[in-house]
Amino acid sequence: MTNYLKYKSIMNKIADVQYSSAVLNWDQETYMPPKGAAFRAQQLATLAGIAHELSTTEELGHLLISLSQDNSLSEKEKRNIKESLKKYNDNKKYTTSFVEELSKSISEAFQAWQEAKKTSNFSLYAPYLEKLVKLKREECKLLGYVEHPYDAMLNQYEPDAKTADLEVLFADVRNQLVAFVKKIAAKPQNNDSFMYLHFDKDKQWEFGVGLLKQMGYDFEAGRQDISSHPFTTNFNSEDVRVTTRTNENNLNEMIWSCIHEGGHALYEQGLPVSEYGLPSGEYISLGIHESQSRLWENNVGRSLPYWNTNFSSLQKIFPENFKNVSTEDFYKAMNIVKPSLIRTSADELTYHFHILIRFEIEKALIQGSIEVKDLPDYWNEKYKEYLGVEVPNDAQGVLQDIHWSHGSFGYFPTYSLGSFYAAQFFAQALKEIPELESEIEKGNTKPLLDWLREKVHIHGKYYTAAELCLFITGEKLNFNYFMAYATKKYSRLYHL
């Protein structure tokens, strides 16, 4: 067996353990009975420890160093070794005991978050979150950073991203998007009251499954379930699962959860099966992952061509609710811009204010300039400042997101990055596929999916996010694409 085949064998074994953990995590968030929580935390901690030990053996280290000097490897193989060696060196900075403690703390925090959200009582969650934040601050020191400790967190989700760069990007949000939203706010608001009538959850489910199938989501390589917070998880590219949630008095939740998670799932299903366990079989970054979900959700799913083909099906399922509603009315309703409390149901413009708030809070938490006990008040103040809304309770405020209970500090900024990448990628797709919008209007999304497979999915981690953006569009990430898209669309919707 060659050294590269030995490397592949080890990486496959590590992936087997990590994806076994992922199955248990999926079960924890969907079907696991409440009494299973304590043992599940222990099981996940054990598997995390095993995966860490496999990822940091001397054998793997020597093998990666040797392969990094092997000029006979292909360019893709060299990239795999480079990425794996970088990850190996990061993994060596952790002890197995730290990894197990972090995994166990995350499981405990998740259970506490669920109960706290259900009862709208932050104090039930606070001690567990305090422990997680302490561990995350310690993790920053273990990983190392040059400018800001938050850089160490960002790098786990968006490799090479810097706090300073994101501050510049969010300055664009403040300087351009805030002013544009104010122009919209000065105009008469469109009507969306018909979105909040009674919608039978089983009929919603049926419609959502139809949307996923239309996008190209392969139900032979996945499934959809219900969870309190919609998510996508994968165990290989032939087993990619999505969850959604239904609210019988708010049709928006199911529609956008299905399309958003479907976009994530299409990316995972498009990764090369032959590269299982290797960087070339993994997504590039969460910003690029979010570009796929946001492109489908916003650039496609919130477009008029998309509903010119799909609204009639929705009318047949809910004839009474939509008997006096036109496609244009529905299009306006799904694109209403107004400040709101909940990030996941925010419109695509004010959404970035929600992310900006979380970015500022996470930076302060990791840096230590605020503590967990300060979070509810700090959160409420930020929502008043940026969105002009009063937060009525913890469930609709600081407890609304699952991410911190997962220890996912540094994740939130990737949502905005994803939207900005999506606008730039979709603009390029329109150039390269002139008939794209007319095909979407016919219900045919295959040309777009084929284009994304070729441009994004198939490459795995061959490119960095910045390199991929340059490869696809010929330039680096440019916020102006998002503003051009938003200006054109919402100027029409609000007669600006």
- Cα separation, 379 vs 369, in Å, equals 14
- Cα separation, 380 vs 392, in Å, equals 9
- Cα separation, 10 vs 18, in Å, equals 13
Q: What is the residue type of 137?
A: R
> Which runs of E-coded beta strand occur in 321-447?
none
CB-count exposure of residue 242 (10 Å: 0-12, 13-18, 19+): buried
CB < 8 Å & 24+ apart, contacts of 299-303: 299/422, 299/423, 299/426, 299/485, 300/259, 300/426, 300/440, 300/445, 300/448, 301/255, 301/256, 301/259, 302/334, 302/335, 302/348, 303/437, 303/440
Crossing angle of helices 286-294 and 465-473, rounded to 10°? 40
CB 447 within 8 A of CB 435: yes
Name which of 26, 53, 11, 19 is nearest 406 in CA terms.
Answer: 26
Residues tagged active-site: 261
CB 403 within 8 A of CB 412: yes
Measured in residues, the chain has a length of 496
Other beta carbons within 10 Å of 324: 8
- Cα separation, 326 vs 233, in Å, equals 36
Crossing angle of helices 446-455 and 251-270, rounded to 10°? 50
CB 240 within 8 A of CB 269: yes
Structure-token pair, residue 170: 């969010």
- Cα separation, 401 vs 323, in Å, equals 35
What strands, in cross-sheet order, belong to the sheet with 224-226? 224-226, 239-244, 232-236
Name which of 368, 389, 340, 338 is nearest 493 in CA terms.
Answer: 338
CB 224 within 8 A of CB 244: yes
